[in-house]
């Protein structure tokens, strides 16, 4: 079969069009920025975390004008390591994991740049609670836990380990427990207490509200500074300031409510705000031993 051939002029026009098309597309491809990775802890199920932090990530995308990807750590240790290495450009981290990250980073607290701390009802503090099953009339105070079994969440959790454990230590019942276990997520602790696998457990206040028809509050901890948004030390200065400004200016009630019930915004923060937690962690670690990292 004889194939039709292009004339020299036609071939030149076709090649010119092809080159111009490539040149037109290449800048757009080159200018497409890499997504920023926003990291967070696996404190609950992935679907719940997506609902919790997805609107915040979308907000950053709109304000920054570049893609932002939400990534959940496999566990607390994995999350801490990814914040330390800079795999996470920025993200939302709990107070105790933040303290651990500063203590185990070669550059200490200089490895991070703090953006802001979450505020609830205008205050940058939160509490842990000790819970028991709603129908358990034998447990109404921490002193009633002697000889009982206690459930903690993650060993590195602020609200489901460090604060509840310190409450037990300070009240003198830690050594008299029949036993305790670390069973993972906050909602797992509440379910285990509700079902009678454990007599009591330590969780965040939100879980007490979510399970109000199944568990009761036995005791409430002292306040500590809440979750914080932080960035890796190597983040570009201009980008860091844009993220910080966007965070401090956030007033969208729907976005804040998705993060936490009653959240009212973010406030500028500094490392020293977490010094009282460091003291609590030292007491707990002296009783439980240093956590494995």
CA dist 168 and 174 (Å) reads 5
Architecture of the domain defined by 36-125+225-288: 3-Layer(aba) Sandwich (3.40)
Q: Which band of pLDDT confidence, cut at 50, 70 and 90, is reported for residue 6?
A: very low
179-209 per-position pLDDT tens digit: 999 999 999 999 999 999 999 999 999 999 9
The CATH superfamily of 128-222 is Periplasmic binding protein-like II (3.40.190.10)
pLDDT tens sequence across 84-135: 999 999 999 999 999 999 999 989 999 999 999 999 999 999 999 999 999 9
Mean pLDDT of the chain: 91
* The two three-digit tokens of residue 158, written as one number: 């602020």
Identical fold between 36-125+225-288 and 128-222: yes
Rounded CA-CA distance 179/177 in Å is: 5
Selection from 35, 224, 20 nearest residue 118 by Cα? 224
Taking 50 as the threshold, does the pLDDT of residue 247 lie above it? yes
Report pTM.
0.82
User: What pLDDT sits at residue 10?
Assistant: 52
Band (pLDDT 50/70/90 cuts) for residue 43 is: confident
Question: How is the chain split into domains, by residue range?
Answer: 36-125+225-288, 128-222
């Amino acid at each position: 079969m004889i194939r039709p051939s292009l004339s020299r002029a036609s071939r030149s026009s076709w090649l010119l069009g092809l080159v111009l098309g490539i040149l037109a597309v290449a800048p757009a491809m080159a200018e497409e920025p890499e997504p920023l990775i926003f990291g967070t802890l696996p404190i609950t199920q992935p679907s719940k975390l997506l609902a919790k932090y997805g609107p915040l990530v979308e907000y950053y995308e709109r304000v920054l004008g570049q893609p932002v990807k939400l990534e959940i750590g496999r566990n607390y240790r994995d999350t801490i390591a990814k914040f330390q290495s800079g795999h996470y450009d920025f993200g939302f981290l709990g107070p105790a994991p933040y303290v651990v990250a500063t203590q185990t980073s070669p550059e200490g607290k200089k490895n991070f740049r703090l953006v802001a701390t979450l505020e609830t009802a205008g205050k940058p503090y939160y509490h842990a609670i000790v819970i028991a099953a709603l129908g358990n009339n034998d447990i109404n105070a921490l002193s009633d836990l002697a000889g009982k079994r206690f459930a903690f969440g993650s060993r590195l959790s602020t609200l489901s380990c460090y604060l509840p454990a310190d409450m037990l230590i300070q009240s003198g019942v830690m050594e008299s427990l029949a036993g305790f276990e670390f069973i993972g997520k906050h909602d797992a602790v509440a379910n285990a207490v509700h079902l009678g696998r454990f007599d009591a457990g330590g969780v965040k206040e939100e879980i007490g509200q979510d399970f109000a028809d199944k568990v009761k509050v036995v005791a409430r901890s002292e306040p500590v500074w809440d979750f914080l948004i932080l960035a890796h030390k190597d983040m570009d200065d201009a980008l860091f300031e844009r993220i910080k400004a966007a965070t401090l200016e956030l007033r969208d009630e729907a976005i804040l409510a998705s993060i936490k019930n009653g959240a009212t915004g973010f406030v500028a923060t500094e490392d020293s705000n977490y010094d009282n937690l460091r003291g609590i962690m030292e007491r707990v670690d002296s009783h439980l031993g240093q956590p494995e990292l």
